[in-house]
Amino acid sequence: MAHSTGSNQAIKPGSTLLKSFVGVAAIKKGYEGVDRDKASHDESTTVQSMRIARTVYEASKDSLYFSHQQKRDQAITEKCNALVERKRLLEESDTTSQLVHADKVVARLKENRDLSQSIVHIDCDAFYASVEQHDRPDLKDVPFAVGDTVVAACNYIARKTGCRAGMVIAVAKKMCPNLTIVKPNHDRYREVMAQICKAMEKYDPGYEICGTDEAYLNITKYCTEFGTKPWDVVESLRKDIRHETGIAVAAGIAANIQLAKISSTFIKPDGQYQLPSEPDIIMAFIKDLPVRKVTGIGYTLDRQLASIGIATCDDIFSQRQFLRDLFGDRLFEFLLEVYLGCGRTELQATLEQQKKSASIERTFKETSAPDIIERNLRTVCEDVEAKLKELNRAGQTLTVKVKMNDFESYSKQMKLPKAISSARDIFQHSLPFVKATVASKPHQACRLLGVRLTQLVSKEYTLSAAFQRMADRSTHSESDSLLGVKEKELPSPAGKRKLGDNLESCELSPRKKKLNLATESSEINPLESFRCPSEMIRCPICDQDQPPDNVLFNQHLDICLSLSEIQKYS
DNA sequence: GCGGATCAC
DNA sequence: TATGGTGATCCGC
């Protein structure tokens, strides 16, 4: 294949753009599956990663996505340049006080670190692919990838051809023409994860789930209780998991979650690695580790650190006098912790984790037609409503996100006077920003809409929830959408259906319309819509009937609500 | 409080 | 045939 001068220049080995092409997975995980079989990073590895980068580059160079990435990369480069310049100035000044301070912090961290715990990190390598391969033996010997438009996971045969998680499937197929694509089956993966949880419970009921395919356990207690060694415990845990689910997991054992996680990557996809909890051994283990492998150090920070001469964890120490000035207090301390191999030892039990936000964002075929955009927004809002309902929460801060087809995104966050949860409320608060943003970019189209609610409050005792329950009771309604027909059910092609600003133009069935109106008016005067003349009103908190008088009923509600609040905290 | 970025999976 | 979705956190206003 003849290389054009253009692409040769654009994609020099080591160029930052090349790095971002090969993808997060390849950099972070060290080209697993490709050079794992080789003893060292020899020339063929470089050739292989160059081939991947070149293929991705050729497929992407004309896309809007590419120009956006280029722009982003340029911004990071400028950040790095500024950093280098600031470091140069620092080098000219007297940095002894910063050096002393850094050493004090190091001493403090050393003093306080806890090496008494046995933390285990369980990692299901290429989880989706493992599950699919287990369920479908026909996939065993063919290259395949799980994913929709982007590869979520692929097996080792596919990886050898350069297929990677995060790659666009069209590109992956270019690299591996006989790649089989499997649609993800999330319910099934959740099921398998639940089985894994069941197996872990025996060893530590306080285990922590992290993402869809990772977990931490603290087996210290189990070990002392049964007089067993961590290594043996993890062996039987992995055996249990394999027996229950049929899939293999990797495990890392160390003094804290940071080290355990790094340890588990040492023996992927199947095996276990224990890092002894002795300071000298930990320091030796960390010493030459590229900082990029550490959780919390991503593409951007890695490049910033590299620009000032920090590639490995040991380099952090030699540059410690500059870090506070360059990165601020928080990052400074984090980096020193990395250097020392410090990390969290307390797990957050999965059951006790409370969500802080609920969000939906969706990418669709780009469009600038206001009615389609509006309809997409409606769908997104409905899905957020459903999610909030599941959590039994309402949110007081709303964030709306719009991404245009140049991949630039804009967001607006608003603190609302009160927590909301209905699709209608969310939609009404989101729409103005979406409309304004789209209108301000007349030559672009919208490709994504997102809605997030934060500052979640329990709906348990909020008025709107209470009245929603009343509404449900009085209409015997199922959980039908408040906003009418879902897009996929629309009989007419997109665009034909004209939806105005006014929600009344939604075609709603009589019953839905009623519920719709009821919900709407509940915002303004909740009582009005449910008041049945000369009938008692049932208080949704205490479930007692009350006289049909708004003022009296409001007073009663106030008392009832404060009572239940008091009960909650006493 | 807000908007943008970053990070992980 | 063409670059995802969810949740969290931090920084600098």
pLDDT at A398: 98
pLDDT at A54: 82
Q: What is the pLDDT of residues A419-443, one digit of tens each?
A: 999 999 999 999 999 999 999 999 9
pLDDT at A424: 98
**Which nucleotide shows the minimum CA-to-C1' distance to residue A401?**
B3
Tell whether the torsion through CA atoms of A24, A29, A30 and A35 is positive or negative: negative
More confident residue, A311 or A491: A311
Contacts of residue A480, defined as CB under 8 A and 6 or more positions apart, other chains included, come to A512, A515
Q: 3-state secondary structure string, A148-197?
A: CCEEEEECHHHHHCCCCCCCEHHHHHHHCCCCEEECCCHHHHHHHHHHHH
In this prediction, residues A179-183 reach a mean pLDDT of: 96
Q: What is the CATH number of domain A356-526?
A: 3.30.1490.100
d(CA A67, CA A72): 9
pLDDT at A7: 37
In this prediction, residues A383-399 reach a mean pLDDT of: 97
Q: Which residue is nearest to nucleotide B5 (CA to C1')?
A: A300
d(CA A276, CA A516): 62
pLDDT at A23: 47
The CATH architecture one would assign to domain A119-142+178-274 is 2-Layer Sandwich (3.30)
Q: Which residue is nearest to nucleotide C10 (CA to C1')?
A: A330
Quick check: A363 and A418 in contact, CB under 8 A? no
Alpha helices in A492-545 (DSSP H): 510-524, 526-530
More confident residue, A5 or A237: A237
Q: Which nucleotides of B are covered by protein (CB under 7 A)?
A: 1-9
Whole-structure pTM value: 0.78
CA distances from A11 to A87, A242, A299, A481, A538 (A): 29, 43, 18, 50, 71
d(CA A277, CA A341): 10
Contact flag, residue A552 CB and nucleic strand B, below 7 A:
no
In this predicted structure, the answer to whether residue A546 has a pLDDT above a threshold of 70 is no
pLDDT at A486: 33
In this predicted structure, the answer to whether residue A510 has a pLDDT above a threshold of 60 is no
pLDDT at A256: 98
What is the DSSP pairing of strand A271-274 with strand A250-254? parallel
Q: What is the pLDDT of residues A479-496, one digit of tens each?
A: 333 333 333 332 333 222
**Which nucleotide shows the minimum CA-to-C1' distance to residue A454?**
C7
Return the bridge partners of A359, or none. Answer: A452
**Residue A214: active-site member:** yes
Quick check: A17 and A25 in contact, CB under 8 A? no
pLDDT at A387: 98
Report the length, in residues, of chain A.
Answer: 570
| Domain boundary assignment for chain A | 5-64, 119-142+178-274, 356-526, 531-570
In this prediction, residues A107-124 reach a mean pLDDT of: 97
H or E segment and range at residue A216: strand A214-218
Q: What is the pLDDT of residues A76-95, one digit of tens each?
A: 999 999 999 999 999 999 99
Is the omega angle on the peptide bond into residue A548 within 30 degrees of 0, that is, cis?
A: no
CA distances from A89 to A84, A100, A177, A378 (A): 9, 19, 53, 53
Alpha helices in A441-549 (DSSP H): 463-475, 510-524, 526-530
* Least-confidence region, from A251-260, A500-509, A540-549: A500-509
pLDDT at A444: 96
Catalytic member of A78, A132, A214, A244: A214
